């Protein structure tokens, strides 16, 4: 990507010329399209609009807005913070710096939770999403399974405000609770899901994520402090046959499976994301079969 000082272009004639300029700065085609649409006051997902209006004149105020958006993006700010929106599992979420920018990888966790054969389609399943952030996972599950009783937990008041606003706007009846992982909840739950922070505090990758809340990203020297806490709390909050599923880092699957097994969970397994990386691991709590505690 070009340096900020190289970003000056006094005027462009058409929307297409604005797009070409944004691409030349090093943005990907998709990011260029989303930011151009946003700068033009259009829905950032409506890429067809750009095709239909490429020869339209680029008004100077929109051109200034586009240059400012591109400048912010080149400084590493996620597109979702610039546009204030992110599409997750087909839902339009409002996003700001109080919450993690939801990743496509996390759709793997939602897919797995929806594949679970827990109960029948009529019986409400008790589901909790820990560290909900924008509400992405909880809202996707509630949208796809309206009969589930979905609770979403976060320690951050700011994150809960974002998630609650998303739930209200989308008309989804998720229950919100402030708390540290499962500490404020008794259960029992049929399903516990979480995308907790899992990056090691000294990981150089964190520097590139400086626009996002560090409390949603970093978790101790090996990145697994919160994963250990959740796995420690989960068995006493799961009903027999209930599942715990966690997203984790690209190199943490074996360690998370070992923790799940040591905690007495059964059927411990991992799921790969679209890049083929083991991205989530989980297991089922069957205390009577396991002969384990609880």
Interacting residues toward ligand GLN by CB under 6 A: 103, 105, 195, 197-199, 209, 217
User: How far apart are CB 47 and ligand GLN at their closest, in Å?
Assistant: 25
Least distance from C-beta 246 to ligand GLN, angstroms?
10
User: In angstroms, what is the minimal distance from the CB of 210 to ligand GLN?
Assistant: 12
Structure tokens at 94: 């409002």
CB of 208 to ligand GLN, least distance (A): 8
% helix, strand, coil for the chain, step of 5 = 40, 20, 40
CB closer to ligand GLN out of 190 and 278: 278
How far is residue 29's CA from residue 121's CA, in Å, rounded to a whole number? 41
CA separation for the pair 109, 247 (Å, rounded): 7
Nearer to ligand GLN, 189 or 198 (CB): 198
Q: Which is nearer to ligand GLN, 67 or 195 (CB)?
A: 195
User: Which tokens go with 68?
Assistant: 């400012």
Torsion sign across C-alpha atoms 262, 266, 267, 271: negative
Smallest gap from Cβ 3 to ligand GLN, in A, equals 24
Q: Which of 280, 174, 294, 157 is nearest to 227 (CA)?
A: 280
- Name the residue nearer to ligand GLN (CB basis): 277 or 290: 277
- CA gap 1, 23 in Å, rounded: 10
Closest CB to ligand GLN among residues 218, 238: 218
């Amino acid at each position: 990507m070009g340096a900020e000082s190289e970003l000056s272009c006094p005027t462009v004639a058409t929307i297409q010329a604005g797009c070409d300029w944004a691409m030349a700065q090093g943005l990907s085609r998709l990011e260029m399209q989303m930011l151009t649409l946003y700068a033009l006051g259009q829905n950032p997902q409506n890429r067809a609009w750009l095709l239909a209006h490429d020869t339209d004149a680029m008004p100077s105020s929109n051109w200034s807005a586009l240059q400012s958006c591109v400048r912010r993006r080149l400084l590493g700010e996620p597109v979702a913070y610039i546009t204030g929106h992110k599409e997750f599992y087909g839902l339009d979420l409002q996003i700001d710096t109080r919450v993690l920018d939801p990743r496509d990888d996390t759709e793997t966790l939602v897919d797995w939770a929806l594949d679970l054969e827990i109960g029948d389609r009529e019986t409400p399943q008790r589901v909790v999403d820990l560290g909900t952030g924008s509400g992405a996972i909880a809202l996707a599950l509630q949208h796809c399974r309206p009969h589930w009783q979905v609770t979403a937990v976060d320690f951050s008041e700011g994150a809960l405000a974002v998630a609650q606003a998303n739930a209200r706007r989308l008309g989804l009846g998720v229950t919100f609770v402030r708390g540290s992982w499962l500490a404020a909840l008794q259960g029992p739950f049929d399903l516990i899901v979480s995308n907790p922070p899992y990056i090691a505090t000294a990981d150089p990758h964190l520097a590139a994520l400086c626009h996002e809340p560090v409390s949603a990203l970093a978790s101790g020297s090996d990145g697994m402090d919160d994963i250990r806490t959740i796995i420690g709390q989960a068995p006493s909050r799961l009903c027999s046959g209930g599942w715990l599923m966690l997203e984790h880092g690209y190199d943490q699957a074996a360690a998370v499976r070992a923790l799940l097994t040591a905690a007495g969970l059964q059927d411990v397994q991992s799921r790969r994301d679209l890049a083929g990386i083991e991205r989530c691991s989980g297991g089922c709590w069957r205390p009577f079969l396991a002969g384990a505690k609880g």
